Structure formats: C-alpha cells, structure tokens
Amino acid sequence: MSNTIFQKIIKREIPSTILYEDNDVIAIEDINPVSPVHALIIPKKCIETLNDLSEKDATIVAKMILVAKNLAKELKIDQSGYRTIFNCNDDGGQTVYHIHLHLIGGRKLNWPPG
Ligand code: 5GP
C-alpha cells in the first residue's frame, strides 16, 4: 500500500488542522483552500480511487458523507449551501490517491465546474 500524504497526516507525521476524527475517518482543513470553507473528509483505510471501492466500503462512504453534513452545520454553511466532491483520476482532478471528500462552501460556487 502506498504511503500517501493523507496516511502521513493520519499518523501525525505531517501536521494538519483536524476538524473531526474517529476510528474510521479524519477531517482536516485543506492546505490550499478554494473557498472560505474547504475541508477534506478522509477514510483512515487507504482506498486509492473511487474505482477501487467495493460493497464492503459502503458504510465508510456513508459515514464520510454524514461527517461532511455535520461539519457543514458546525462551520455554519449548511443554510447558505455547500458542495461535496470526490475527484477521480486525472481528468477528475485527483492529485492524492487516497479517496477523500471535499467539502467546500462559504461563497457562491459556480456551476458547471471548470
Ligand atoms: P484532489 O486534487 O486529490 O481531489 O485533492 C487533494 C487535496 O489535498 C487538494 O485540495 C490539496 O490542496 C490537499 N492537500 C494536499 N497536500 C496536503 C497537505 O499536506 N495537507 C492538507 N491539509 N491538504 C493537502
């Protein structure tokens, strides 16, 4: 298994601002935010891309979405609105090959995305 930047963050080998953590998931502030709120919800288990998900990962993915929902409320963007995104592979803009859910908000977001 590759040692991604997120695995290093999970193991505290690299510092980050942690917004939430439990046995399965960690949520951190993105180091290069694209909006006033930009969090990353990351499973502790390294799954490289969405293509690598299997049925047994259903619970963890559901948990990631629930964590995003809870963070949106905590960070006070639940009423104004927000977006959740999984990027997959090169055309999808994925740069870290350890799945993560982006939670972005705090400004009006354009659609369609670039
Ligand atoms: P992707 O492009 O793979 O969908 O998203 C990767 C995200 O990870 C990017 O938004 C990038 O800014 C963020 N990121 C990359 N390295 C680090 C890091 O060391 N710390 C934090 N907090 N975020 C990072």
Q: How far apart are CA 52 and CA 50, in angstroms?
A: 5
Q: Find the mean pLDDT for residues 32-41.
A: 98
14 lines ligand 1 (CB under 6 A): yes
Catalytic residues: 100
Backbone angles phi, psi at 28, to 5 degrees: -130, 165
Q: Which residue's CA is the nearest one to ligand 1's atom 17?
A: 31
Domains of the chain: 5-105 (3.30.428.10)
Give the per-residue pLDDT at 43: 98
Q: What percent of the chain is helix, strand and coil (3-state, nearest 5)?
A: 30, 20, 50
Mind listing the pLDDT tens digit for each residue in 44-77?
999 999 999 999 999 999 999 999 999 999 999 9
pLDDT in tens, 2-26: 689 999 999 999 999 999 999 999 9
Read off the pLDDT of each residue in 82-93 and give the average, rounded to a whole number: 98
Whether 54 is in the pocket of ligand 1, judged by its Cβ within 6 Å, is no
